[in-house]
Structure 1
Amino acid sequence: MVRQASKSNQKSVRFVLICAGLLGFALLANFFWASSSHLSISSNWAPRYSRSPNLYIPPKNPISHKRPKDGSDRLLLSATFQDLVGPNLEWERMVAAPVPRLDGAAIQINNLFYVFAGYGTIDYVHSHVDIYNFTDNTWGGRFDMPKEMAHSHLGMVTDGRYVYVVSGQYGPQCRGPTARTFVLDTYSKHWQGDFPPLPIPRYAPATQLWRGRLHVMGGSQENRFTPGLEHWSIAVKNGKAIEKEWRTEIPIPRGGPHRACIVVDDRLFVIGGQEGDFMAKPGSPIFKCSRRNEVVFANVYMLDDEMKWKVLPPIPKPDSHIEFAWVVVNNSIVIVGGTTEKHPITKKMVLVGEVFQFNLDKLKWSVIGKLPFRVKTTLVGFWNGWLYFTSGQRDKGPDDPAPKKVIAEMWRTKLKFND
């Protein structure tokens, strides 16, 4: 009797172990299947290179979201939130800039591309200019900026010889702004510092030359967060102010920094931007940056002969950090990269990986290409059919649009427009 009971118990234990083993094997197989399925989805925008290590061949467009199998309207968002569909472009890697830059500035005069200032790291800012020659694709001609000049969040524009540098942030982290304005003579590399200062310091104000006047508007106020609505102008000629004071102009409809400001066919355009920005942590001796809520917008405004702000079709998605990320080609405005609204789940900053075209004849936006990676505060130029971009802060990878590495890379692609 005892032996029979013992044998029965052994059979029961063996049966339970076999069932547990089968269940574990099934769970393990399901895990590996799910993992491989996720990898096949998330890697479909991974960079691929041809035998030439400098030629980027873009893969298919990324999957930005999918619907659950139960047929509900709830969206399952992936980390590529808000990536828009666009044609592939072949990007060629060029010689990198001498230093990485974030929130730097750039001006193109003919075949020369002047790249100014910017963060190297959050604790270190550059105080010099590098020059890229589009004719022979080389960097050279470095020279220093004035010691009193801001290092990031600059307002900047050129008349083809003189570069006007307005306001901006002085120093690393989230230090305060300056109201100083400087003028660079690109022929002599001489700086002029006696230009009338801006009435109030500003971070990243929209800046342009229009009808003989230097226009400065928007940006962030002295606390780095509150949007500025003010709009000033001053008459200029040959790198000099021909008025003693700035004149108050019609306020911009929506304030804030990090927007593109462009003049085409005697019309002034202001595109994108944001309200709010990082602020200095209260009491921090180094003005350590502290995150605040930002609202990125897609608004496009225009001034023309009527001197009233007109609302134009918005950019395809909210876009900020694009003040030097544009060029004008064939009566179109081209915008490269930037930042958009935060990810709705992770709440992290989302970088932009698209190239946008605004056709000024049709007043119509389109996506004309994808970048080799998402990137903000790009510095953009155009020469002999090639669209170039350098510097900025790129994403963490194909599946994570949050910002990570500050770069010095230079890329170019043959620019092609939609009809």
Structure 2
Amino acid sequence: MARTTGKHFSKKFVFFLSFSGLLVAALIADFLWASSSSSSSSSSSAYISTASIWALENSGSSIIPIVENKAHKRGTVKDKKDPVPGRVLSATFADIPAPELQWEKMAAAPVPRLDGAAIQIKNLLYVFAGYGTIDYVHTHVDIYNFTDNTWGGRFDMPKEMAHSHLGMATDGRYIYVVTGQYGPQCRGPTARTFVLDTETKQWWDLPRLPVPRYAPATQLWRGRLHVMGGSKENRHTPGLEHWSLAVKNGKALEKEWRTEIPIPRGGPHRACVVVDDRLFVIGGQEGDFMAKPGSPIFKCSRRHEVVYGDVYMLDDEMKWRILPPMPKPDSHIEFAWVIVNNSIIIMGGTTEKHPVTKKMILVGEVFQFQLDTLKWLVVGKLPYRVKTTLVGFWDGWLYFTSGQRDRGPDDPAPKKVIGEMWRTKLSL
């Protein structure tokens, strides 16, 4: 009796296990099919960047990561802006809430410029070179007079001088121009360096940089011209090297550049500022466009870039100190800064790529770095997002000109190269 009951129980138990196994197998198969189907029709959920988290914490907003539907790429869905209704990631996700500023439009520069350079000496802003279009570069200098708000005094650059991605610094009369890209598209860099006497408009050479560089951080500090980082000869690989040259009154006091302590993080498009006997290097990126292999015109080809907001300071012992980072990663700001009331003001730039479209995102904020507290503030908005601005400050007015602006309020991707000049009263 006991054995019969045991056998009967065993058969029921085996049947139960078999049924359960089949059910589990069916569920697993269904899950795998759903996962496969999902992966074939959508990409991975987009990350939320540090910048957007910062913005969320300070705005009270919320963002739901979007899942991009690849059907859009095949043209099977008409509304490309809304692949998943109700889960749209705004194209302006990286904007940081900021006070509104009252901007006044001034006389535009004689030509539009991208990746140009600028140096302010007293009431004059000297604006150099830059792209007019990707296939055309400027070979001259324009001057803006802050006193009467007019452009004038155009003159030519040396024929051997680079046209974009320049390193540049001044002692108040002489402007030192270091290396950079020679020609349009993504042509190679030069190691040539020059000096401009702004009083006589005369140019002359300095010793060549040990190797060519694109957009190195450049500044005069303690009687020496310092050149750091930038991109190497292929335009993409970050350089860490740091050189200096003793100079005085526009002349080199040495025949060769001296090797200094390498910068902790390499790359181009950074602000480099000397104030109160302190040298700061701010923001930048690793990587950049490269020339397409075999292209006879050195056509630019996109490469992966990492934008960062790191801030470094060189101290009395010639060691690098790490300071609080910018409110969000920011690049293309090498001439987008000015010193106002013991603060460094930085305007515009580029930040992290859009997590879904992977397009470049321009910056529309005005940042303040307080030199006494070493703290960052967001003190205003530009009229639009824009990169490679050329900035000046005079009689309480903050100016910017040139660069590449966004496609509109709802699209932070770059579009038009501009020559516009704007100003606003800045009270800090």
Interval of TM-score (by shorter of Structure 1 and Structure 2): 0.7 to 0.9
Say if 2:323 is the partner of 1:309: no
Give 1:67 shift: 4.9
Match of residue 114 from structure 1: 126
Describe the shift of the 1:191–1:362 C-alpha distance in structure 2 as closer, same or farther (beyond 3 A): same
**Aligned mates of 1:375, 1:407 — CA distance in 2:** 9
Query: What is the TM-score normalised by the length of structure 1?
Result: 0.82
Say if 2:145 is the partner of 1:133: yes
Match of residue 96 from structure 2: 84
Residues 64 and 79 in structure 1, CA contact (< 8 A), matched pair in contact too: no
Match of residue 272 from structure 1: 283
Match 1:158 to one of 149, 170, 179: 170
AA aligned opposite 2:301: S
Match 1:295 to one of 270, 295, 306: 306
Residues 91 and 372 in structure 1, CA contact (< 8 A), matched pair in contact too: yes
Match of residue 220 from structure 1: 231
Say if 2:384 is the partner of 1:347: no
Structure 2 stretches of 5 or more lacking a match? 1-57, 66-85
**Aligned mates of 2:110, 2:378 — CA distance in 1:** 31
% identical aligned pairs: 84
Per-residue displacement from partner, 1:222-257 (whole Å, max 9, x unpaired)? 000000000000100010000011000000000000
**Aligned mates of 1:259, 1:336 — CA distance in 2:** 12
Match 1:231 to one of 238, 242, 245: 242
**Aligned mates of 1:403, 1:396 — CA distance in 2:** 6
Give 1:351 shift: 0.1
Q: Secondary structure at the match of 1:409?
A: strand
Match 1:101 to one of 113, 121, 130: 113
**Aligned mates of 2:288, 2:182 — CA distance in 1:** 16
Match of residue 52 from structure 2: none
AA aligned opposite 1:120: G
Residues 199 and 246 in structure 1, CA contact (< 8 A), matched pair in contact too: yes
Pairs within 5 Å for 1:351-366:
351-366=362-377
Residues 64 and 80 in structure 1, CA contact (< 8 A), matched pair in contact too: no
AA aligned opposite 2:207: P
Describe the shift of the 1:331–1:190 C-alpha distance in structure 2 as closer, same or farther (beyond 3 A): same
- Structure number with larger C-alpha Rg: 2
Match of residue 13 from structure 2: none
Match 1:201 to one of 212, 216, 236: 212
Give 1:307 shift: 1.2
Match of residue 416 from structure 1: 427
AA aligned opposite 1:369: G
Q: Secondary structure at the match of 1:391?
A: strand
Give 1:66 shift: 3.9
Residues 259 and 270 in structure 1, CA contact (< 8 A), matched pair in contact too: yes
Query: What is the TM-score normalised by the length of structure 2?
Result: 0.80
Say if 2:295 is the partner of 1:284: yes
Say if 2:334 is the partner of 1:337: no
Per-residue displacement from partner, 1:308-359 (whole Å, max 9, x unpaired)? 1000000000000000000011110000000000000110000000000000
Give 1:192 shift: 0.6
Residues 64 and 83 in structure 1, CA contact (< 8 A), matched pair in contact too: no
Give 1:77 shift: 1.9
AA aligned opposite 1:161: R
AA aligned opposite 1:186: T
**Aligned mates of 2:87, 2:316 — CA distance in 1:** 46
Per-residue displacement from partner, 1:8-64 (whole Å, max 9, x unpaired)? xxxxxxxxxxxxxxxxxxxxxxxxxxxxxxxxxxxxxxxxxxxxxxxxxxxxx9998
Match of residue 256 from structure 1: 267
**Aligned mates of 1:401, 1:174 — CA distance in 2:** 23
Q: What is the root-mean-square deviation in Å for CA atoms of aligned residues?
A: 1.5
**Aligned mates of 1:121, 1:214 — CA distance in 2:** 31
Structure 1 stretches of 5 or more lacking a match? 1-60, 69-73
**Aligned mates of 2:383, 2:104 — CA distance in 1:** 9
